[in-house]
Structure 1
Amino acid sequence: MYSISEIAEKVDISAHTLRYYEKEGIIKPVRNDSGVRQFDEKHLQWLQFVKKLRETQMPVSQIKEYTRLFLKGEHTANARLNLLEEHQQYIRDQIETLLATDDMLTKKISTYKELMRESLVK
């Protein structure tokens, strides 16, 4: 079992964020007899998944919906699949936009470098 500070370090998120996720129902840590939060390997894996979703701009509201569906059971698998497929498409759209922007910037940078070379020759 991990303490809140240990799990926060392992996942590289703050204890404050963990408390927020608990308040929002995204994570439900076990509490010992003293009321101290404890996390296990399943919590660790779940939090790593949630962190990736947040890093790819999935709103907390959608993560909460995914969590709610997951906790309802297997009969929600199709709804969870749809939610993840929609997010994956969002990510792919962002990748396409970033690649196009990178290409545009590469061309613009090349143009500036060429202009600078030409001005040095003159």
Structure 2
Amino acid sequence: MYSIGEVSQMLGISAHTLRYYEKEKIILPDRNENGERIYHTNHVQWLQFVLKLKETQMPISKIKEYANLFTQGEQTSLARLKLLEEHKVSIENQLKTLEETNNILEKKISSYKDFIQKN
């Protein structure tokens, strides 16, 4: 079991972010007898997944939609699959754009190096 501070430190995010995720029902930590948030390993793993989705530009609204579907149970598996497949297409488009940009940058850098070396 982990406190909000421990999870915050483990994941490199603020306690404020964790409280926001709870407010948005992206994560639902347990509470102890004093009302303090208690996170378990499965919460941490879920948050790691959420952070990866965010890093790959999934909108918070889609993350909330996925979390909501997950809490509804197995009958939402098809909807969750569709949501993740759509996001995968988005990531593949990002990768293509990054690769194209990287190629342009390599050419530009090479051009500058050639120019500098000649002068």
Corresponding residue number in structure 1 for 2:62? 62
1-structure distance, mates of 2:53, 2:12: 14
Instruction: Provide runs of 4+ in structure 1 moved above 3 Å.
Output: none
Larger Rg: 1
1:112 positional shift: 1.3
Map Cα deviations across residues 69-110 of structure 1 (whole Å, 9 max, x no partner): 111111110110010011111111101100110100100111
CA RMSD of aligned residues (A): 0.7
1:72 and 2:72 equivalent? Answer: yes
1-structure distance, mates of 2:114, 2:68: 56
SS of corresponding position for 1:68: helix
Corresponding residue number in structure 2 for 1:52? 52
Matches within 5 A, 1:1-122: 1-119=1-119
Which amino acid in structure 1 is aligned with residue 7 of structure 2?
I
Count of aligned pairs between the two proteins: 119
Which amino acid in structure 2 is aligned with residue 14 of structure 1?
S
1-structure distance, mates of 2:29, 2:37: 6
Q: TM-score, normalised to structure 2's length?
A: 0.97
Which amino acid in structure 1 is aligned with residue 114 of structure 2?
E
Q: What 5-or-longer segments of structure 1 have no aligned partner?
A: none
> Identity percentage over the alignment?
57
1:118 positional shift: 1.6
Q: What 5-or-longer segments of structure 2 have no aligned partner?
A: none
Map Cα deviations across residues 5-64 of structure 1 (whole Å, 9 max, x no partner): 001111221100000000000011111111111100110110010011011111110000
1-structure distance, mates of 2:85, 2:111: 39
1-structure distance, mates of 2:89, 2:8: 29
Q: TM-score, normalised to structure 1's length?
A: 0.95
Which amino acid in structure 2 is aligned with residue 37 of structure 1?
R
1:113 positional shift: 1.1
